Amino acid sequence: MLNIAIIGFGNAVVNYHLPYLERTKDIKVKKIYRREEDRIGDTEREAYYPDITFTIDFDDVLQDTEIELIVVATHVDSHVDYAKQALEHGKHVLVEKPFAATSAEAKDIFELAKRKNLIAMANQNRRFDGDFLTLSKVIESGKLGKIHEIQSHYDYFKPSWIKPGFGLMHGLAVHTIDQMVSLFGVADRIDYDVRSLVYPGQSDDYIDIDFRYGLTKVTIKCSLLVKIAHPKFVVHGDRGSFIKYSSGHQTKNGEGPTQVSFDQESEENWGTLTYVDDEGESHTEKVPSEITDYGLLYERLVRAIRHQGEQPVKNEEVQYVLDILQDGVEAAKQAQ
C-alpha cells in the first residue's frame, strides 16, 4: 500500500483525484493539507472523507514517514516550492499541470528528484480521457493508414471568462497539447496563432497552433467564443477518416463526495470511423468509447515507484510542453 498526501482541496482534488483514487487498490490517501485561511467557511466537505486526516500543518505531512508520495494540487505559483520541500523530505511528488511556470523551473525540480533518487511527475491525467483513449486506439489499429491531419478542439462559449491576462494556454490548451505530444513527440515545426479576440495583446482567449511532423499536421484549437460544439477530434489518413465528440468528465456532483461513472457512454456519442481496407472495400463503423479513468495514471506511477517501471509522463515531455505554453503566450502578447 502506498500512502499519499494531497496539498490542496479544490475542484481538481474533489473531482479528478479523490473519486478515482477510491478505486485504486494500492493507494491510500492518508492526509490532505489545507492552509488555515482556505478552510474558513469551507469545512463541511471534509466530513465527506472520514478516512482522511485533514491538517493545516504542512510539517505534519512532511514529517510523516508513512507518506511516500505528495500530490501538489495548488495554484501554479506554489507548485515549485511545495514540490521542492516534498523532495527534500524524501517524498515522491505528483504535480498538477502546469507543472511549473517555466521549463527551467521544471528542470530544477527534475534534477533535485534525480539527486534524491525520487520521482517528480506532472499529473497529465487527460491522457486517460475516454475520448483520447478512443482516438489512440483507432490510430493504433492502422485502419486510417498514414495520418496526415488531426484537429483537436477544446472550446467553450464563456465570454465572461475573458479578462486581460494570460491563462487559456496554461489552463485549457495544456491538456490537448500534452495529449498530442504523448502521441507524436517533438514537432519538426510549430506555427502559433494565439491572440485575444477581446483584449488584443493582453490575453490569450483564441488558440490555433499547428504542429508539423513531416507531412502530418496536428492542430490544437481552443477558444472561449465557440457557441456550437465541434468534434473533439477529427482525423484524416490516406485510407480513411475518424470523428469523435467529447466524452466529458462523467462526474456527478451533489450532496456528498463527487461520484464518477465508469459505464461506457451511450452509442450515440461513439466515434465514427470510415476507411478503405486492403481489398479496396469501404467500411463505416461506430467505435465504442473507452472509459475515462484517471486512476490509471496513479496505477502506472505506483509501478514506477515500487518496481522501477516506466514513468508514465516523461520529464522531457513536461519541459517541452511548458516551452510551447510560454511561446504561445509570447505570441499572444505580440498579436495586435
- pLDDT tens track, the chain, 336 positions: 999 999 999 989 999 999 999 888 899 999 999 998 888 888 889 999 999 999 999 999 999 999 999 999 998 899 999 999 999 999 999 999 999 999 999 999 999 999 999 999 999 999 999 999 999 999 999 999 999 999 999 999 999 999 999 999 999 999 999 999 999 999 999 999 999 999 999 999 999 999 999 999 999 999 999 999 999 999 999 999 999 999 887 676 667 888 888 888 999 999 999 999 999 999 999 999 999 999 999 999 999 999 888 899 999 999 999 999 999 999 999 986
CA angle in degrees (0–180, nearest 5) for 182-168-331: 85
CA angle in degrees (0–180, nearest 5) for 231-233-238: 120
Residue 223 belongs to what H/E stretch?
strand 216-223
Domains of the chain, first to last: 2-122 (3.40.50.720), 126-295+324-334 (3.30.360.10)
CA distance 58 to 60: 5
CA distance 123 to 266: 28
CA dihedral 30, 20, 185, 179 (to 10 degrees): -130
CB 297 within 8 A of CB 312: yes
- DSSP state, 170? I
Closest CA to 86 of 66, 55, 61, 52: 61
CA distance 158 to 162: 7
CB 6 within 8 A of CB 16: no
The answer for residues whose C-beta is within 8 angstroms of residue 109's C-beta and 6 or more apart is: 80, 83, 84, 87, 93, 95, 99, 100, 120
CA angle in degrees (0–180, nearest 5) for 164-211-243: 95
Q: How many CB atoms lie within 10 A of CB 77?
A: 9
Which sign does the torsion angle of CA 66, 68, 70, 71 carry? Answer: negative
